[in-house]
Structure 1
Amino acid sequence: MKATPTLVPPAERPLDSPWWLAPALFTVAAVLGGAWGYRSSPIVQGSAWLALPYVVPLALVAASWRPSAHRDTRTRGLALGGIGALIALIYAHLATFVLCAVALLLWAFQGGG
């Protein structure tokens, strides 16, 4: 005979931590960081295609929304979300620096004067 499993009342079950809290915070941080970074850099006067690389940090944050049962995949999701939020924050300033460096190099090495 099979033993009947005993049911534990909901009030006596241990509470699981809400898995969605960290990805939600990373999503808000990525959106606010990306908006602040984009608005505070001179790239905002540029063409709209310069905002296209924001897809990469948002994809990293979206990867953190996948619920996981294992501790290592949960840590990986938290790392991806944090990295995505950080990239969203610094992308516009990094792109401005790279564009200015390329313009300076092109100006310095142009031929003919």
Structure 2
Amino acid sequence: MKATPPLVPPAEQPLDSPWWLAPALLTVAAVLGGTWGYRSSPIVHASAWLALPYIIPLALVAASWRPSAHRDTRTRGLVLGGVGALTALVYAHLATFVLCAVALVLWAFHGGG
């Protein structure tokens, strides 16, 4: 009598599609979004240390490059990459808003003068 292999649940079956396509697109989206966001904000003329937090979105996109054999880890990586690409897109405008709000609050506490 032949022994049948145990059934593998669908969540643990290996993926057949090319795993690198989505991380590659997310990397391009993060770089283009970060470049466009930075160039379209007023902080482009500020000091270079304001570009340092772009490390966080790039680290999130880099996490999506980890090859995974299971659907749940692949989905987690793609979500991290998508969040990284979106963060790279809006970071410069968010930093501009925060810096303007801090400047306004400091101006208000100094008596407006």
TM-score, normalised with respect to structure 2: 0.84
Aligned twin of 2:46: 46
TM-score, normalised with respect to structure 1: 0.84
Q: Moved runs in structure 1, 4+ residues, more than 6 A? A: none
**Distance apart, 1:71 and its partner CA:** 1.1
- Determine what percentage of the aligned residue pairs are the same residue: 88
Provide the C-alpha distance between the structure 2 equivalents of 1:59 and 1:81, rounded to a whole number of angstroms. 9
Taking only aligned residues, the RMSD between alpha carbons, in angstroms, comes to 1.4
CA spacing shift, 1:102–1:24, aligned 2, 3 Å: same
**Distance apart, 1:47 and its partner CA:** 0.2
Q: Which amino acid aligns with 1:41?
A: S
* Structure having the higher Rg: 1
Provide the C-alpha distance between the structure 2 equivalents of 1:112 and 1:16, rounded to a whole number of angstroms. 63
Structure 1, gaps ≥5 residues long: 1-14
Range that drifts further, 96-105 or 66-75: 66-75
| Number of residue pairs matched by the alignment | 99
Aligned twin of 2:65: 65
Provide the C-alpha distance between the structure 1 equivalents of 2:100 and 2:112, rounded to a whole number of angstroms. 21
